[in-house]
A and B are shown apart, each in its own frame.
Chain A
Amino acid sequence: MNGLLVACILTPMVTAALSFIVTNTAKVRGAISIGGSILLLALSTILLYQVVNGGPVSNQMGGWQAPMGITLIADMLSAMLIVVTAIVALSVNVYAMGDISEDRIAGGFFTFLNMLIGGVVGAFLTGDLFNLYVWFEVMLISSFALLVLGGNKVQLDGAVKYVAINLISTVLLLTAIGLLYGLTGTLNMADLSIRVPEVENQALVAVVAVLFLVAFGIKAAVFPLYFWLPASYHTLPISVTAVFAALMTKVGIYALMRTFTLIFPGEHSVIDMTLLGLGLVTMVLGVFGAMTHNDIRRILAFHVIGSIGFMLLGLGLGSALAMGAAIFYMVHGILIKALLFMIAGVIGKLGASFELARLGGLYQERPGFAMLFLLAALSLIGIPPLSGFWAKLLIIEAGLHHDATEVIIFVVLVSLLTFIPLIRIWSEAFWKPKPFSTEEAKADTSDSKAIGPPVMPPNWYAWTPVLGLSIIMFLIGFLPSKIIAMSDTAAQSLINPSAYLDTVLPDRAAAQANLNEVQQ
């Protein structure tokens, strides 16, 4: 028994409820929410410490032993991602205090944000496939609420597309889970990993695997299923976009990693080839999409898609080395996306617009802030010694190890191309002189005011998370060895899940006999 896992899920959920019930005041709601995310960060750090020192931690809910009951389990991958989630949750909560309007907070912004975090943590922790579906739903319904909260026309228009595509992915996921249950008679992921190879009709297993690939692929915004993402992300307030961009797609990648290593393993299979191909196409299209846009939020939304491609590469190559690279990229990707969107938010506040044509002169006004953006952008591109460099280096190293020349060529090429849209933001928003005088710009953006967040000068609510995340990115960049080592351990336990299986099913043989008895 370990209460820590339950506490990690309960903390955001209770915070969500409290921030709605206790008070109507926006500031107090925000304070409760920030308190909750600090607690989550503390709990998840303890959990990570336990996992690093003692291997996977598990908890059988309701006293039913696996595979009968629902299992919660934290291995290295889950524990790392929960800590990162908590960091993002904390910074978004602080940022939202200065960004989200009072009426949105009155509508329950912090409640839905915390429910979303709860859903993400639950999805990372669960060891049961149907439970994973339920956590995806928790995430989905809170993301819907955040999408339409305080909605204007454009926001509703983006929301319709997001909701439609995500509901289809939900139905596919449910169907896949149903079919897999029909084939194996179990939903516990550890138990599935033992039973799926025993299924006679492996062709049906392959069909189910593809259904999972499509369902999680939509969530993760993988080519050709990513069109909902650039259609909706830029319509939202920056705080919501930051948390969506950082976490939502990565949960899809996590689910892909979990299912395709634990339930449908097998190196050099067709699925691995497919994942590799999809990864290559996704990252190329992500970077080309970013080049075509003039709105900072849209440029960054396409970079989210591009980084999904890099993670898929690691999963597609399939070795522990490549998987470790993908996990490190995931940690880097979550943090850098949250940071870049918040920086974009600050740019929007300083320049009263997100359009590159309307921005300018920010370097002259705020040289320090300009440096922060430049460093975050260089980190995304992969310039040493920033964190993105290590992420890409690890993927190239894995590519060399597999003799996968195409992977190395694409990684280097796409990294170079990533330069173009980001340097465009730099030269347009920071370097060129300001296009209008401030009054003119403000009068001119009266129509785009409805689209972007209300124009307020950035205050310390905005600066604190930006600075904090930048410092974390620096630390990862200069001291990557600890996180690389942890990613490698996480990857090892994904490739060789015996520790995972032993934790969930302490007495595997006995559990098997028990289940057979029940089935007869």
Chain B
Amino acid sequence: MEILLSLLVGVLMSVSVWMLLSRNLVKFLFGLVLISNVANLIIFKVGGLTMGAPPLITEGVTEQYANSLPQALVLTAIVIGFGLVSFTLVLALKAYQAIGTVNVDEMTLAEQRHDPEEKEESS
């Protein structure tokens, strides 16, 4: 299970890095969704997997139990990641509506200088 999870992390990480390198903003966003999930999986994995045991300690029972801290961390990270990703999706939509492109190479409005002479040259 541990090896399987590690392989999954590796594959997902490489896929998401490839997508993050894309010039298409939408692809970039999907890469971002993936990589934030990869981070959660990493926490889950390195926190130590305990198979088939609940993260709760019942009074009097001293059986094996899973470490609940990584799960709590992942849960927090999922909630935060969900909020950030939904914000970014809306931002991308707004940017697309305002600028008219999802190609980041063409998103250069903020980089332009506002000198009147230069504007004429570029247009």
Contact = CB atoms under 8 A, between A and B. Distances in A.
Nearest to B117: A357
A91 to B, nearest CB: 26
Interface in A111-137: 130, 134, 137
A268 interface: no
A157 B73 contact: no
The residue among B48, B77, B88 with the most chain A CB atoms within 10 A of its own CB is B77
A153 interface: yes
B110 A141 contact: no
A160 B46 contact: no
Contact of A232 (B38, B45, B91, B110): B110
B42 interface: yes
Contact of B95 (A156, A168, A170, A355): A156
A234 interface: yes
B110 A157 contact: yes
Q: Which size class do B's interface residues fall under?
A: 35 or more
Interface in B79-117: 80, 83-84, 87-88, 91-92, 94-95, 98-99, 104, 107-111, 113-116
Interface of A: 130, 134, 137, 140-141, 144, 148, 151-161, 163-164, 167-168, 170-171, 174-175, 177-179, 181-183, 187, 231-232, 234-235, 293-295, 355, 357, 444, 448, 451
Contacts of A152: 98
B112 to A, nearest CB: 8
Interface string B60-91: 00000000011001001100100110011001
A182 B48 contact: yes
Which applies to chain B's interface (DSSP): helix, strand, loop or mixed? Answer: helix
Contacts of B25: 160
A296 to B, nearest CB: 12
B39 A357 contact: no
26 contacts: A134-B76, A137-B84, A140-B84, A144-B87, A151-B98, A154-B109, A154-B110, A156-B99, A157-B95, A160-B92, A163-B87, A164-B28, A167-B36, A167-B84, A167-B88, A174-B36, A178-B42, A178-B70, A181-B46, A181-B69, A182-B43, A187-B69, A235-B110, A294-B115, A295-B113, A451-B114
Given A153-B109, A168-B32, A181 B84 contact: no
Contact of A181 (B28, B70, B88, B116): B70
A232 B19 CA distance: 23
A255 to B, nearest CB: 17
B95 A159 contact: yes
A498 B32 CA distance: 40
Nearest to B35: A171
A298 to B, nearest CB: 9
A160 B42 contact: no
A153 B98 contact: yes
Contacts of A451: 114
Given A153-B109, A154-B110, A159-B95, 7 more contacts: A130-B76, A151-B98, A156-B91, A163-B91, A178-B46, A235-B110, A355-B114
Given A141-B83, A167-B84, A168-B20, A160 B107 contact: yes
Contacts of B116: 444
A168 to B, nearest CB: 7
Contacts of B99: 153, 156-157
Given A157-B107, A178-B47, A295-B113, A151 B94 contact: yes
Nearest to B37: A171
A160 B95 contact: yes
Contacts of B84: 137, 140-141, 144, 167, 170
B18 to A, nearest CB: 14
Contacts of B108: 157
B91 A160 contact: yes
A170 B36 CA distance: 9
Minimum-distance CB pairs A-B, first 8: A182-B46, A178-B43, A158-B110, A157-B109, A157-B110, A174-B39, A156-B95, A153-B98
A130 B110 contact: no
B103 to A, nearest CB: 12
A174 B84 CA distance: 14
Contacts of A294: 113, 115
Contacts of B76: 130, 134
Contacts of A182: 43, 45-48
Contacts of A161: 107, 110
A179 B46 contact: yes
A239 B63 CA distance: 58
A175 B39 CA distance: 5
A295 B114 contact: yes
Contacts of B109: 153-154, 157
Contacts of B104: 160
Contacts of A175: 38-39, 42-43
A294 B98 CA distance: 26
A184 to B, nearest CB: 10
B115 A159 contact: no
The residue among A144, A175, A183 with the most chain B CB atoms within 10 A of its own CB is A175
B110 A231 contact: yes
A235 B116 CA distance: 18
B95 A141 contact: no
A158 B98 CA distance: 12
Nearest to A148: B91
B6 to A, nearest CB: 12
Contacts of A155: 110
A130 B73 contact: yes
B70 A156 contact: no
Nearest to A233: B110
A86 B46 CA distance: 39
A148 B42 CA distance: 32
B21 to A, nearest CB: 11
Nearest to B102: A160
B110 A234 contact: yes
A154 B112 CA distance: 10
